[in-house]
Structure 1
């Protein structure tokens, strides 16, 4: 049977179940499939392309991207002329990431009139100003500036950000060179902001008005629901945190692996009784704040030092936990075997398996509501005499354990061994 004998609608239905990688491979099999795939825009919804070495791309390549209405692109080691070329073929891009930008300006971004999501990361050249943001202010919803050298004054940066009144997400990660006393000046103008990720390395004590101002209070307070703080070790009071009443997700990436005498996370947890998601990386051992966890928690990421008894406290404080990412700093292998008893409502679980016995790994089948297990360390060293040789694929042992788990759960649990990050997202978190 030749492909043309089946209706186009049937082929498109089949293609809809394929991954992006499979679709790309299928395009190479015959001209009929390539035509069907390239002409069907819904099949590529959400698809992002990574571009590098622009001299290799011919007009046929660009035409195929244009036909698929690619909505997102990541440009690596790019220059201004590459932005002009990209805008000529894909003027309707909605998401764009510039990684390792090679020049000191990005004024050509004004060519992308429909851009809603912009990310600049790891730029080797400093940006002298942020004037390139002004033409984007009507449509831009998400802005990410990560590891970007800004030689403009902080006041100029804040003035530029304040123009982006439609922003719902803002990420600003830097090396500490940017001095912004409080976030009040940023938040006052961004009334729609829901997600904020900010570097805290320059702060030792948070001012009483760090998150609030008179204008915000009169407008009904902050809309923030998701807050990420990088390199955090600042003193905070409950008064400072009062404007965060709507916060539902908090991620703390501590500055020091050996923290100071005061556990500031205790204050955060007692001030946010409606918190749904908590992510903690580093800092004090779990025992220092486990007793302060709000009962509203449904999701937790714990990349900290902990003991089995600490997880028992967590199960009492957060009895309805559904999502758990567990990466203990200690090598205790007894933690995973406790999960079915402590957290019977778990639906998703992320763990590392290298130090687990087969029995401990397979015990997750006792989690009756579990539907997704992600193994975060699906690599192995095949030669004990050569630790530098690493195979970034599931080991034969892991493959066997996954097979056994599938049998025990009647394939109820979906096991993920390779996470695919959004190419447009920041890799700091």
Structure 2
């Protein structure tokens, strides 16, 4: 072991750069020499995120190690006001922060984080009476997410606070329908740099003509710079004229989480109004057959978590012949769909599917996707005891692991197979 420790630090750091976050933490615990090397090399921890909860467990040594790594992304669960003060004293240059299930009442302590660029508040039942703390963050904040937050301030106050954040490129606001915002044009007028918008639509029945048209585009034929739009619980009547400011939109996502859409499929109007659409995500709502004939030929990425039949996929392949990314979670049985994919979508480079109820022979047929780079299996769990269906093991079954081995041999390990997804620390669970 002594001879290994005599190797140059630069060589060890190069080796450590190939490790995952978990492996780095494991190596750090093996000896004081590796602990010193890892903690002193900030580049090795670039992008590292940490989840903090039960703050009584953290001692001075713990905080010092985070400070040495210059941790820039933190998720705080069930935190309080004093915890924010503690974090800011050790990590003053924090760039991304998420507060989940906040317990501390007012969060004016956020003004301590002068370098904060991304802020997310999720599942906070403690009422937020105002958002004045945003004023001190307005210069650097580029991403703001408010999901399932108990807002007691009126809508004009909320919109006024958000409108000050003129550097925002991403805005997410998910609520239970208690927020009454007549249109989004007021927000879009001030947030001219906005690229990503995620909004709850449960309160809208008919979208007015100027719903998406900010003041600086009033009476003109110009389009917004918005390129990614996510709408939750959408079922509003819309016209192509209303959607004209979104003509440059590249990604559209419709999530029907808590509502059942009415008899009219308004998604048809959206799809015929977005000539540059490259990515489409639909979760719930009408069956695919209701809008499959309106899919634009520009689509490169498609996510479908809806009712669909094999013949619907055949239409998709005709409407979107250049599809590269496909995420398929049919609400009906998928056993007869997987075998069709190599023939219908030969250009796929990324595929996300569920494997339960799919015959092994159909799964292995995916080797015929000659351009496939990544295959993600979304249901990597199993029930080891048939007599106890409540017992679920949340990891790949031995059978699935062997199936993956067989698949990789058949593809000469060309395809990377994933059995677990890694969500961004700051994202909510709605989308």
Give the TM-score range, shorter chain: over 0.9
Structural mapping, 1:380-391, within 5 Å: 380-391=382-393
Range with greater deviation from structure 2 (166-175 or 96-105): 96-105
After the TM superposition, which residues 111-130 of structure 1 pair with which residues of structure 2 at under 5 Å, given as runs? Answer: 111-130=112-131
1: CA distance between counterparts of 2:330 and 2:69? 44
SS at match of 1:73: strand
Any stretches of 5+ residues in structure 2 without a counterpart? none
Displacement of 1:255 in angstroms is: 5.2
Q: Distance in 2 between matches of 1:205 and 1:257?
A: 16
1:4 Cα shift?
A: 2.4
Q: SS of 2:335's equivalent?
A: coil
Q: Matched residues in 2 for 1:47 and 1:213: separation?
A: 38
Tell me what 2:402 maps to: 400
Q: Distance in 2 between matches of 1:301 and 1:140?
A: 30
- Which stretch of the first structure deviates more once superposed, 110-119 or 215-224? 215-224
CA distance in 1, matches of 2:58, 2:351: 41
- Aligned match of 1:250: 252
Change (3 A) 1:307 1:256: farther
2:266 aligned with 1:272, yes or no?
Answer: no
Which residue of the partner structure matches residue 61 of structure 1?
62
1:220-239 to 2 correspondences below 5 Å: 220-239=222-241
What is the correspondence of 1:72-83 to structure 2 with a 5 Å cutoff? 72-83=73-84
Distance 1:40 1:255 in 2: 44
- Which residue among 414, 420, 425 is the counterpart of 1:423? 425
Report if aligned partners of 1:256, 1:283 keep a CA contact under 8 Å in 2. no
330-339 or 295-304, which deviates more: 330-339
Q: Which residue of 2 aligns with 1:11?
A: 12
Q: How big is each residue's C-alpha offset from its partner over 1:185-238, in whole Å with a ceiling of 9 and x where there is no partner?
A: 111100000000001111111111110033235795411000000111111111
Secondary structure of 1:197's counterpart equals: strand
Of 329, 332, 335 in structure 1, the residue corresponding to residue 331 of structure 2 is: 329
Q: How does 1:96-245 map to 2 (within 5 A)?
A: 96-217=97-218, 220-245=222-247
Which of the numbers 364, 367, 382 marks the counterpart of 1:365?
367
Contact 2:310 2:337 in 1 (8 A): yes
Structure 1: where are the runs of 5+ without partners? none
For residue 149 of structure 1, give the secondary structure of its aligned residue in structure 2. strand
Number of residues of Structure 1 aligned to a counterpart in Structure 2: 429
Q: TM-score when scaled to structure 2? A: 0.98
**CA-CA distance at 1:103 after TM superposition:** 2.5
> Which stretch shifts more, 419-428 or 78-87?
419-428
Deviation at 1:332, TM superposition (A): 3.6
CA distance in 1, matches of 2:332, 2:284: 12
Q: Secondary structure at the match of 1:145?
A: strand
SS at match of 2:352: strand
Task: Write the distance in 2 (CA, Å) between the matches of 1:129 and 1:81.
Answer: 19
Matched residue, 2:414: 412
Matches within 5 A, 1:34-45: 34-45=35-46
TM-score of the superposed pair, with normalisation by structure 1: 0.98
CA RMSD of aligned residues (A): 1.2
Give runs of ≥4 in structure 1 deviating > 4 Å: 217-220, 255-258
Partner of residue 31, structure 1: 32
Contact 1:291/1:317 (8 A) holds in 2: yes
Alignment of 1:316-355 (within 5 A): 316-355=318-357
Deviation at 1:257, TM superposition (A): 6.6
Deviations 1:251-292 (A, max 9, x none): 001256753221100000000021000000011111111110
The 2-side partners of 1:62 and 1:214 are apart by: 48
